[in-house]
A and B are shown apart, each in its own frame.
Chain A
Amino acid sequence: MKKRTFSVRLAFVLSVIVLVIGIVLSLRSQPPTPVREISLILHEKTTAGDVMLQAGAQRAAEEYKVDLSVITLSETGAADEQCRLTERETAGGAQAIVLSAADRTGMGDAVTACREANVPLLTITSGCDEEVDAHLSADQTEMGKKLAFEVMKRDGQKAVATIVRSAARRTGLDERLAGLIEVLTTCNVEYEVVDASNQDVAGYGFRNRLRQRGTTSVIALDLPELELLCSAQTGDTFSVYGFDTSSAVLAALDSEKIEALCVADDFSLGFLAVQTACALLDEKTPPEALIPFTLVDHDTMYDAQNQWLLFSLQR
């Protein structure tokens, strides 16, 4: 009996102690929700061409409590620098890397750095040959096809196309090119592919060449070339088409220096990129994402739907 009484008392005292400790612990203020650190490394020198992408990424950063760092390169397309920046960010505490790959074959070091640091790496628009955790992009091949069809619609059977490509070896550009060529070839449209690194795209010589060839449409695969082509001179007989936007490009579209653009929803892309990075950090399955794209021209750029696509609300 005495032993039982002692056991009961001991159990009572222990229970009281446990409950008091529990109460004290429960009174502690909840720790703040941890902020994730994610780095978005662009492939360009400036952010001018990624205004909507950044706007979407920033919105997602607010939504998911992310400290987002947007990093540009000192030179557009500097893959080595992009790899170094990736290593720097992973070493500096970045929990996930979002990359618009500057070069499809030159990202091995970046991928290795992320793998070693156990940091999820996802690519947007342009991927790389190495395997990454996720890749988000609009269907660049379909974009190329759509633009090709638009060229043919406007120029008809007499279309003669010049496709200007940059030296950058990005998957997005290759896919656009593939889409364009597929349609142009199928429709028996005469076309040529010109390497911008070998041409002064903005210069008079190039324009003259185009005129002599009888080019009716110039399609710029990448933004820098498109911006150079925007500075069209009076007397140009060709129409300019492209894929990306910037303020200069929009101004050119507004002033009809650009005939049409096939534009992906970069705002959605930026938002979904950060969302996917957070899902990877939570070890959840990233949501299925289809980035839409659309064709805009001077007449439709201010439509109710397209203005949301082209013009950022953020300053």
Chain B
Amino acid sequence: MKALFERAAKRFRRSSLQVMLTVSFTCITALALLAFGLSYHVRSTDLTRDRIGEDNIRIVGQVNYSFDSYLRSMMRVSDTMYYTVIKNTDLDQSSLTEEMNLLYEANHDQLISIAVFDSAGRLQAAVPQSTVKPGLDPAEQRWFTDALGRIENFHFSQPHVQNLFLSPDETHHWVVSLSRAVELTRSGQSEQGVLLVDMDFSGLEQICSSSGLGENGYLYIVDNTGDIIYHPNQQLIHAGLYAENNLAAAFYEEGNRVEDFGGEERMVTVKAIGYTGWKLVGVMPMSDIESAFAPNWVFPVLIILLIILLMGAANTFLSSRIAVPIKNLESAVNVIEEGDLTTPIPIGGSYEVRRLGGAIRSMAAQLRRLMDDIVREQEQKRRNELEVLQSQINPHFLYNTLDSIIWMIENQEYSDAISMVTSLARLFRISLSKGRNVITLGSELDHARSYLTIQQMRYKDKFIVRDQSDPALNELACLKLIVQPLLENAIYHGLEFMVDGEGELTIRTAREEEDLIIEVSDNGPGIPYALQQQLLTPDFEKNSKTGGRARKGYGLYNVHERIRLTYGAPYGLTILSEPDCGTTVRIRLPALPFDAGQGGETP
């Protein structure tokens, strides 16, 4: 079971967003519905049970009221008979029969008989029958002994078949006897007697039989000892075919309670009946209450299933509205991942998803731009490197230098020749620098010195070189072949037309905080300001190479661009020139220690 649950959870975690949303929302809805349904069912069941309990109390109360009225009417008959008739009659002088008869006729639908007995049990008057069965002693009957036993009370007997009078029509009557002690007057003397009013038991039956306590509910009456006075299944109980919890009910408090009897749960409502000490007990099987819900369980279950199904469909639709734009975004991102930055990015769905789509679109566009920039930079770098490479093996310089060497050898100026050859070798060696683009400042300055040595030899005493470089900076990293072009420009554009010996070329290195400064200065004619602005532009560089001249261009843009490509925009060349005051070209590089292992690329 656990493994199954884990498998299902694993599968759920791996499923798509739409499936997760649909399943989650549907499960939450179903759980909420079930919880609501259950709690509503429980609450409504409790409420219904309470309401039915209250209804039962009301019904039993109404029956009790009817019962009470009935009993009081019988008691009124007894009172009327006693206080109006018996007390005002002297038995030796007049009879009770006539007035008794009137009273009987007025209530004959509820009465079986009215009778008066003396304390010995001798009949004084009775209606409608007036002859006691021979051999029967009324004084031995319970209604008689109870009446004389407690003279202040009314006494109600258990229901029984009347066994007092001779009946001409062979009928028998079930009665409840209401008896009381009375004072009879005989020749002015009082003596005790008993007034008996036999009530028709069917009157009680009628009051209790139509209880209205549900389909299977009923009412019954018990006395204070638990004996049944009335029960709709009274004869079945006496026949042993039916059982009732009457003995317990006699001691129940008034109100509702739930009892378990005979394996059946029942709601029992108890109300005490006044004057008699009896209790009216209403019984309603709990199955009658629950049957209000039981047959209908199908309906709420089907409704819940239908709602879950419809909610599932709605959740599927809603989750697709959320998930589909994300899926489309995901597909587009997959395409981007594979390298196609031009794929259109679909933007749709909720605000957040649209924002995300917009961001991905911007990101893709930026990526495209960056990649284009990188490509452009790499191309420029390669072009610059190619130019450098080309300048490294400038054939004219080589040709002129070799020519000078041949001339020196021919003129047996061997030491100068050796010096020039050595300088040339050093020049080319440093130019190559094993393919590295970044070398030490020391090597770059050596390269510049080698160049200057060759040029000084070629342009004998044309200019002097002042080397004001700081040896402490020689181990800093420097881009290759950036000083030589400046020297070349200074020689060819600054000093070429100066009088021999007046030309001065200065190389200076310094550190300004985190920057390395290399300056090449000449005391030439200077560069016009307008030209200064153009020298570092690519157009000037391009235009300077046209016309078929081998090296007309200044090469400054190349150097400037190489520095900027390598180290960034804050670095590069700065031209400081005043006409007739000379020119200083300043190189600004970051002061980085040289790392031989880096391969000479960008720090």
Contacts and interface: CB of A to CB of B under 8 A. Distances in A.
B309 interface: yes
B160 A307 contact: yes
Contact of A311 (B174, B202, B299): B174
A244 to B, nearest CB: 15
A15 interface: yes
Interface in A290-312: 292, 302, 304-305, 307-312
A252 to B, nearest CB: 9
A59 interface: yes
Contact of B238 (A23, A305, A315): A305
B49 to A, nearest CB: 21
A26 interface: yes
B299 A27 contact: yes
Contact of A26 (B167, B238, B299, B309): B299
A186 interface: no
B201 A313 contact: yes
B170 A250 contact: yes
Nearest to A21: B302
B161 A302 contact: yes
Contact of A19 (B161, B172, B240, B306): B306
Contact of B235 (A23, A267, A272, A304): A267
Contacts of A313: 174, 201-202, 205, 234-235
A20 interface: yes
Contacts of B205: 313
Given A247-B170, A254-B133, A23 B302 contact: yes
A19 B309 contact: yes
A168 B240 CA distance: 32
B306 A268 contact: no
B309 A22 contact: no
A219 B163 CA distance: 26
A24 B205 CA distance: 43
A28 B161 CA distance: 50
Contacts of B160: 302, 304, 307
A22 B298 CA distance: 8
Given A247-B171, A248-B170, A302-B161, A22 B239 contact: no
Interface residues of B, number: 32
B42 interface: no
Interface in B146-192: 158, 160-161, 163, 167, 170-172, 174
Contacts of A251: 167, 170
A309 B296 CA distance: 44
Q: Say which size band chain A's interface belongs to.
A: 35 or more
Contact of B239 (A26, A30, A267): A267
A311 B302 contact: no
B239 A59 contact: no
B310 interface: yes
A27 B305 CA distance: 16
Contacts of B239: 56, 265, 267-268, 271, 292, 308
B233 interface: yes
A16 interface: yes
B241 A311 contact: no
A250 B303 CA distance: 64
B302 A315 contact: no
Consensus secondary structure, chain B interface: helix
Nearest to A251: B170
Contacts of A26: 296, 298-299, 302
B386 interface: no
A55 interface: yes
B236 interface: yes
Contacts of B359: none
Contacts of A19: 302, 305-306, 309
A292 B306 CA distance: 59
A15 B307 CA distance: 12
A12 interface: yes
B161 A311 contact: yes
B295 interface: yes
B241 A315 contact: no
B313 interface: yes
Nearest to A268: B239
Nearest to B299: A26
Contacts of A250: 170, 172
A307 B302 contact: no
Contacts of A12: 309, 313
A14 to B, nearest CB: 11
Interface string A265-282: 101100110000000000
Nearest to A313: B174
Nearest to B238: A308
Contacts of A15: 309
Contacts of B133: 254
Contacts of A267: 235-236, 239
A271 B241 contact: yes
A144 B234 CA distance: 29
A254 B235 CA distance: 21
Contact of A23 (B163, B240, B303): B303
Contacts of A22: 298, 302
A168 to B, nearest CB: 25
Nearest to B134: A255
B371 to A, nearest CB: 36
B31 to A, nearest CB: 19
Interface in A2-25: 12, 15-16, 19-20, 22-23
Given A30-B295, A59-B233, 10 more contacts: A12-B313, A16-B310, A23-B299, A55-B235, A247-B170, A307-B161, A308-B234, A308-B239, A313-B202, A313-B235
Interface of B: 133, 158, 160-161, 163, 167, 170-172, 174, 201-202, 205, 233-236, 238-241, 295-296, 298-299, 302-303, 305-306, 309-310, 313
> What 10 A-B pairs are tightest by C-beta distance, nearest first?
A308-B238, A251-B170, A19-B306, A268-B239, A26-B299, A302-B163, A26-B298, A247-B170, A307-B161, A22-B302
29 contacts: A16-B306, A19-B305, A19-B306, A26-B299, A27-B299, A55-B235, A56-B239, A247-B172, A250-B172, A251-B167, A251-B170, A254-B133, A267-B235, A267-B236, A268-B241, A271-B236, A271-B239, A292-B240, A302-B160, A307-B160, A308-B235, A308-B238, A308-B239, A311-B161, A312-B235, A313-B201, A313-B202, A313-B235, A315-B202
